[in-house]
Amino acid sequence: MNWFKLSLIRLMSKTAEFKPEQFEIPPSQELGDLALPLHVTARNLGVKPEELSLKLAEALKTEENSFLSEAKSVGGYLNFFLNTQSVAELTWNTISSMGARYGVDAVSQQSVIVEHTSANPIHPLHIGAARNALFGDTLTRLLKAQGKKVEAHFYVDDTGRQTALAALAYKLLGQPSPSGKPDSWVGALYVFGNAFVELFLAKEALKEAKNDDEVKRIQQSIDEWVGVLSEQSQKQPQMFEVLSKAFSSLQDPKFELSELMLKYEEGEPSTRSLVRNLVQHCLNGFVQTLSRANIVHDKFDYESDLLWNGSVDKVLTLLESSEYVERQGKVMIFDVNRAAEELSLKQKLGIQKTHLLPKLVLTRADGTTLYTTRDLAYSLEKLSKADTVYNIIGAEQSLKQLQLKVVLYSLGYTNVLNQIHVPYEYVDLPGETMSGRRGRYITFDSIMDEAKMRAAPEVEKRNPSLTKEKISELSEKIASAAIRFALIGVNANKRIVFTWDRVLNFETNSGPYALYTYARANSILAKSALSLDGLKPDFSKLSDKDEHRLVVLAARLPEIVSYAANSLRPEVLPEYVLRVCDTFNSYYASTPVLGAGDRDTREARTALVKMIQQTLGSAFGFMGVTPPERM
């Protein structure tokens, strides 16, 4: 719709200057298709908003614009009513020429990295990681639709204690090939490794307990971890039997764990092979899961590579000479607040001047680096390869992301302001709690499986003649769409309460409902037996209010895509799709398409159905949804 806004701006330029982003969509169709608030402009011109609105409305009456039907002064607003026929003709021609690319606006050649998912490679992806992955993948698709060169990256945290716990168990098990889905198998290793080490530490602490309260607290911890082992042993009895003997034979599991971590950070060949093999098994499982939802990463970046290729050492060398670093033995601490104030960064980062930013610890007492230090090196690597970087990371990491920016800016990397943290909140499943350490989590796979299982009876009810294979295939597509709509359709700053009655509602406000609407449009087109190639419909035949609304909605897709990308708000896309679906279904229920009285009206309405079908199909593509031709 920007084309129309720009044409209006040109027509009104003799009176005042406006920008496309100043226009709004009125709350009801009776108020028009677009509205321009004039309060700020009127104040700048020294006139009343109503006076300016009337003046512009009168001026537009004398201007020729085939897309404008009427401009009305409504208080301090100027409301615009579009011409159905002109907008329909332009949209029809655009869709006919662009096809599935409708909505793409190749306006930029900027290089972009979107880092998303980046879950620890120690257990299956859970529902929180699913929200991250789906948000990141949709944002990637939207940015590509702007012509940007976009890569999706996954940051593999393979040097931490959690990975080492799973790797130690993997080593003691004899490094076999996974049985079953590889990430689930690695998840079991992590639970066993964590439980056996925690039990050892608790028993050691029990020997040093100084009073009854301390003994009671430690014993409760022991009982809990024994319970975890008992629970996990029911799922993996053979693994439990082998690891139980192997861990009991270790004199000091804590020492073994520390040795493994140190050797891996140093790149010792056998340890490097051990950990990388384990991590690759888990990543293979991730890829299997993500592919079910049409999510693909262009590159997997390993944290360990930053240690081995000298990137972390380079950052440490720069920090050594920083005036904002203080030392406590081998511990390096960065004074973030002082740096932010002296470099005038708070305003640039949107932080209140009075807000104190805590100091950032960069190295441990033994001089080894922390996750945060390695993240500094990773940020520099990403910024060296892209003009803009988007980090899809949980909202709980917001402070850490700010601290990293301050540190890198102080080291002279001012382009770190082009690294944007996109925070997201958790997903709540009523009645469910998760703990990866204890092997209790709601996996992305289990949510997909549940959605597929719930969708299958609906598919079979609507298509009794389909084979079991076709029902399974169709149910998988519906499941993917249902989860995508549910997890993308809520602003990232808000928590999601995941309930099945909303996620899989075939009647309204869900992914399956949107797919059903698309299939309905396909069915109408198939029954029409009308060749749409080269067709020049007489869109003057579209006189119904719903027809006008559908034409305008179809014309808005490119603007919706652009807004969703620029504002980092992918949720506006499913919101838009559902609005199109509601309007189309209302129209179909009240207006005959194939049964229209005359040929011209029938062709115009069929062409409108085609516009809606392609609009939905293109929108699905930007969301990573593969719509079935039938439901």
**Cα–Cα distance between 107 and 75 in angstroms, integer?**
36
Q: How high is the pLDDT of residue 508?
A: 66
pLDDT at site 30: 87
Residue 436's pLDDT is what?
46
68, 98, 541 from 85: Cα distances, Å: 10, 20, 8
CA–CA gap between residue 238 and residue 245 (Å, rounded): 11
State how beta strands 427-428 and 496-497 pair.
parallel
For 490-604, strand residue ranges (E) read 496-497
Could you list the mean pLDDT of each consecutive 10-residue stretch along the chain, which spans 631 residues?
79 84 88 92 90 88 81 90 94 93 85 97 93 97 95 96 96 96 96 95 89 92 92 94 96 94 94 98 98 96 96 93 92 95 92 91 85 94 97 94 96 96 86 53 88 90 89 93 92 85 70 94 90 88 94 95 95 96 95 90 96 97 90 71
Nearest to 580 by CA among 529, 543, 620: 620
Domains along the sequence of the chain with CATH: 2-82 (3.30.1360.70), 161-302 (no CATH), 309-440 (3.40.50.620), 444-623 (1.10.730.10)
Secondary structure letter of residue 367 according to DSSP: S
Taking the C-alpha atoms of residue 167 and residue 162, their distance in angstroms, rounded to an integer, is: 9
Q: What is the pLDDT of residue 567?
A: 95
């990543």: which residue's tokens? 283
| Contacts of residue 570, Cβ cutoff 8 Å, sequence gap at least 6 | 135, 138, 139, 142, 488, 564, 623
CA distance 280 to 278: 5
pLDDT of residue 433: 54
What per-residue confidence (pLDDT) applies to 527?
92
* The predicted structure's pLDDT at residue 312: 94
Q: pLDDT value at position 586?
A: 95
Place of tokens 């020294």: 46
pLDDT for the residue 628? 86
> Can you state the angle between helices 572-590 and 468-488, rounded to 10 degrees?
120
Residue 42 CA to residue 50 CA, distance in Å, equals 9
Write out 329-344 in H/E/C secondary structure. CCEEEECHHHHHHHCC
Q: How far apart are CA 611 and CA 465, in angstroms?
A: 30
553-605 pLDDT, tens digit per residue, is: 999 999 999 999 999 999 999 999 999 999 999 999 999 999 888 999 999 99
Question: Which of these, 493, 414, 404, 507, lies nearest to 462 by C-alpha position?
Answer: 507
Per residue in 18-70, pLDDT (tens digit) is 888 889 998 888 899 999 999 999 998 999 999 899 988 888 887 777 888 88
| Burial (0-12, 13-18, 19+ Cβ within 10 Å), 322 | middle
Query: Which candidate, 628, 629, 503, places its Cα nearest to that of 574?
Result: 503
77 torsion bin: left (phi>0), alpha (psi -120 to 50), beta (else): beta
Ordered DSSP codes for 304-324 = HHHHHTTHHHHHHHHHHT-TT
